[in-house]
C-alpha cells in the first residue's frame, strides 16, 4: 500500500467505477459515494456502444478474471453504422470515425463492441463491495488545510486528499468546482425501449444486428435507432466460467430501439407507463411504411422510458485544486456519436495514471491534475462540439451557444 492519501469519488457510474478499479489496482486508498440506495434503483438504459477508449480502459484497469468476463459478455461489432430507409431497408453502411489521440499507443486501436450497460456496471463494481457506499448524496465539499471534506445529505462526512466529481450531468461537484460550466437543453426528446432479439431478427436487415447501430430518419428529422446486444456467453454463465463468485443478473439477447426528434413531436412523455410510451413511439412513425411501427410494437411494454437530451457548453477549468472532474460531470454530450461513456472511461484511466505517478512520488498533485485537466477538457469538449454538429444535421439538435 502506498503512502498516498485517500481519494474520494462522488458517483458510481461507469467513470467513477473505472477510476476506483484503477486506484485499487495501484494500491491507492479509495472510497466511492453513490446517491442511489442500490445499483438497481433507477433504470440506467440498455445497450452501450463501446469503442477503443472504453475497451482499452477496461483492459487497463480490471484484474484478468474481470477482463475475461468483460470480453465474454461483449458483442464485438463491425465498425459501421447502417443507414436505413423508413421501410427499414439498407441505404449504406457508414464507416465509424476513430479518434483516440495517443492514449493507447501499445494497444489495439480500432475496436467496437455493443454491451449491456447493467452488465458492464456489475463487472466494474466487482470486488469493490468495501469501497462503494450507497445512499450517500453529496451536498457540498469544503477545502481544508489537510485535504477535502465531503458532506452528504444523511448528515455524514468523509475526508480525503483528493475529491473526484464523477457525478454525471447534474454534478454537484461541478456546481462548486466550476460553476461557470453549464449545460443546455439540446431540444431533443427520445423514447427508449427494447425488444427481444428473436422478435427483431425477421424484421430488420442482418447488418442492423452486426453493425454498431442502425438509423432511419424522415424529413422532420424524427429518427428510429436500433442496436443489438448479443452476448457471446450469457452473463451468469460467463461469470461462472471466468470469475466464480461474481454475482451477475442474467439477460437475454435484445435489440434497443430509440425513437426521437425535436420536443414538439413528443409533447407529453412524463408520468406515462412504458406501454403508453411504446404507443407514442409507434404513432410518431405512423406515416412511415408499416415495418417501423410494427417493429416498435414488438417491444417489451414495461421497458420504454423517455430521455430529454442535454449537452455541456464547452469552456475551461480554472487552475487545478485537489478537486477534479470526469465524464458527464464535465463534458456531457448528446448520444449521436455514442461516445459519452467511452470518454468517461478514458478520463478515468488517465486520471488513475496521473494519481499513480503522484503516489509513486514521481509528480506533484497539482502538476499531475493540471496535465490531466488540460488533456481531458481538450478532447472532451472537442467531442461535445462534434456530437452537437452531427446532432444538428441528423436530429435538429439545438446549436451550442458560441
Ligand X SMILES: Cc1cc2nc3c(=O)[nH]c(=O)nc-3n(C[C@H](O)[C@H](O)[C@H](O)COP(=O)(O)OP(=O)(O)OC[C@H]3O[C@@H](n4cnc5c(N)ncnc54)[C@H](O)[C@@H]3O)c2cc1C
Q: Which of 260, 258, 280 is nearest to 268 (CA)?
A: 280
Q: Could you count the other beta carbons within 10 Å of the beta carbon of residue 364?
A: 11
Q: Which of 112, 221, 278, 339 binds ligand X (CB under 6 A)?
A: 339
Q: Alpha-carbon distance 349 to 112, whole Å?
A: 18
Residue 167 interacting with ligand X (CB under 6 A): yes
28 versus 387: smaller Cβ distance to ligand X: 387
Give phi and psi for 88, each to the nearest 5.
Answer: 70, 30
Q: Alpha-carbon distance 58 to 38, whole Å?
A: 23
65 versus 93: smaller Cβ distance to ligand X: 93
In whole angstroms, how close is the CB of 269 to ligand X at the nearest point?
Answer: 13
Q: Which of 4, 7, 9, 12 binds ligand X (CB under 6 A)?
A: 12
In whole angstroms, how close is the CB of 81 to ligand X at the nearest point?
Answer: 11
Question: Are the C-beta atoms of residues 281 and 309 closer than 8 Å to each other?
Answer: no
Q: Which of 16, 127, 193, 380 binds ligand X (CB under 6 A)?
A: 16
Q: Could you count the other beta carbons within 10 Å of the beta carbon of residue 62?
A: 21
45 versus 196: smaller Cβ distance to ligand X: 45
Contact region with ligand X (CB under 6 A), list: 31-39, 64-72, 280-288, 378-386: 31-39
Residue 299 interacting with ligand X (CB under 6 A): no
Q: Could you count the other beta carbons within 10 Å of the beta carbon of residue 283?
A: 12
In this structure, is the dihedral angle defined by the CA atoms of residues 208, 381, 35 and 122, taken in order, positive or negative?
positive
Q: Which of 295, 282, 120 is nearest to 195 (CA)?
A: 295
For residue 292 the three cell numbers come to 417501423
228 versus 242: smaller Cβ distance to ligand X: 228
Q: In sequence order, what are the residues at sequence separation of 6 or more whose Cβ sits closer than 8 angstroms to the Cβ of residue 24?
A: 30, 127, 128, 131
242 versus 258: smaller Cβ distance to ligand X: 258
Question: Are the C-beta atoms of residues 396 and 219 closer than 8 Å to each other?
Answer: no
Q: Which of 193, 235, 306, 327 binds ligand X (CB under 6 A)?
A: 327
Q: 393: buried, middle or exposed (CB in 10 Å: 19+, 13-18, 0-12)?
A: exposed
In whole angstroms, how close is the CB of 361 to ligand X at the nearest point?
Answer: 29
189 versus 242: smaller Cβ distance to ligand X: 189
Contact region with ligand X (CB under 6 A), list: 73-81, 89-97, 326-334, 373-381: 326-334
Residues 169-228 within binding reach of ligand X (CB under 6 A): 172, 192
Q: How many residues sit close enough to ligand X to count as binding (CB under 6 A)?
A: 33
For residue 100 the three cell numbers come to 483516440
Q: Which of 241, 238, 263 is nearest to 249 (CA)?
A: 238
Contact region with ligand X (CB under 6 A), list: 74-82, 174-182, 328-336, 382-390: 328-336
Residue 340 interacting with ligand X (CB under 6 A): yes
127 versus 260: smaller Cβ distance to ligand X: 260
242 versus 257: smaller Cβ distance to ligand X: 257
Residue 29 interacting with ligand X (CB under 6 A): no
Residues 79-138 within binding reach of ligand X (CB under 6 A): 136-138
Q: Alpha-carbon distance 348 to 354, whole Å?
A: 10
Site string for ligand X, 37-76 (x = CB under 6 A): --------x--xx---------------------------
Q: Alpha-carbon distance 377 to 316, whole Å?
A: 7
In whole angstroms, how close is the CB of 61 to ligand X at the nearest point?
Answer: 14
Q: Alpha-carbon distance 60 to 278, whole Å?
A: 39
- Kindly list the residues in this chain that would bind ligand X in the complex (CB under 6 A): 10-16, 33-36, 45, 48-49, 136-138, 166-168, 172, 192, 307, 327-329, 335, 338-342, 344
Amino acid at each position: 500500500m502506498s503512502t498516498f492519501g485517500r481519494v474520494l469519488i462522488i458517483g458510481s457510474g461507469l467513470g467513477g467505477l473505472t477510476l476506483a478499479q484503477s486506484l485499487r489496482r495501484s494500491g491507492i486508498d479509495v472510497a466511492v459515494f453513490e446517491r442511489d440506495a442500490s445499483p438497481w434503483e433507477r433504470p440506467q438504459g440498455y445497450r452501450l456502444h463501446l469503442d477503443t477508449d472504453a475497451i482499452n480502459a477496461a483492459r487497463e484497469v480490471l484484474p484478468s478474471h474481470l477482463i475475461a468476463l468483460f470480453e465474454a459478455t461483449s458483442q464485438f461489432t463491425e465498425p459501421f453504422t447502417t443507414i436505413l430507409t423508413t421501410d427499414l431497408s439498407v441505404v449504406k453502411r457508414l464507416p465509424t470515425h476513430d479518434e483516440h489521440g495517443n492514449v493507447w499507443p501499445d494497444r489495439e486501436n480500432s475496436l467496437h463492441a455493443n454491451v449491456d450497460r447493467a452488465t458492464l456496471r456489475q463487472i466494474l463494481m466487482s470486488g469493490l463491495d468495501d469501497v462503494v457506499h450507497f445512499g450517500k448524496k453529496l451536498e457540498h465539499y469544503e477545502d481544508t488545510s489537510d485535504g477535502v471534506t465531503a458532506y452528504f445529505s444523511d448528515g455524514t462526512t468523509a475526508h480525503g486528499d483528493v475529491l473526484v466529481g464523477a457525478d454525471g450531468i447534474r454534478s454537484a461537484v461541478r456546481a462548486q468546482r466550476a460553476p461557470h460550466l453549464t449545460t443546455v437543453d439540446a431540444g431533443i426528446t427520445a423514447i427508449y425501449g427494447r425488444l427481444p432479439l428473436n422478435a427483431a431478427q425477421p424484421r430488420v436487415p442482418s447488418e442492423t444486428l452486426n453493425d454498431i447501430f442502425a438509423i432511419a430518419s424522415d424529413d422532420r428529422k424524427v429518427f428510429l435507432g436500433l442496436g443489438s446486444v448479443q452476448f457471446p456467453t450469457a452473463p451468469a454463465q460467463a461469470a461462472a466460467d471466468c470469475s466464480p463468485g461474481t454475482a451477475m443478473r442474467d439477460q437475454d439477447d435484445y435489440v434497443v430501439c430509440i425513437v426521437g426528434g425535436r420536443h414538439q413531436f413528443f409533447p407529453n412523455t412524463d408520468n406515462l407507463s412504458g406501454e403508453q410510451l411504446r404507443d407514442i413511439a409507434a404513432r410518431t412513425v405512423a406515416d412511415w411504411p408499416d415495418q417501423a411501427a410494427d417493429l416498435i410494437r414488438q417491444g417489451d411494454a414495461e421497458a420504454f422510458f423517455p430521455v430529454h437530451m442535454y449537452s455541456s457548453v464547452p469552456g475551461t477549468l480554472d487552475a487545478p485544486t485537489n478537486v477534479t472532474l470526469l465524464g458527464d460531470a464535465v463534458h456531457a454530450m448528446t448520444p449521436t456519436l455514442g461516445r459519452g461513456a467511452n470518454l468517461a472511461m478514458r478520463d478515468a484511466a488517465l486520471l488513475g495514471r496521473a494519481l499513480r505517478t503522484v503516489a509513486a512520488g514521481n509528480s506533484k498533485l497539482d502538476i499531475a491534475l493540471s496535465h490531466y485537466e488540460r488533456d481531458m477538457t481538450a478532447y472532451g469538449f472537442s467531442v461535445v462540439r462534434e456530437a452537437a454538429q452531427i446532432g444538428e444535421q441528423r436530429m435538429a439538435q439545438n446549436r451550442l451557444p458560441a
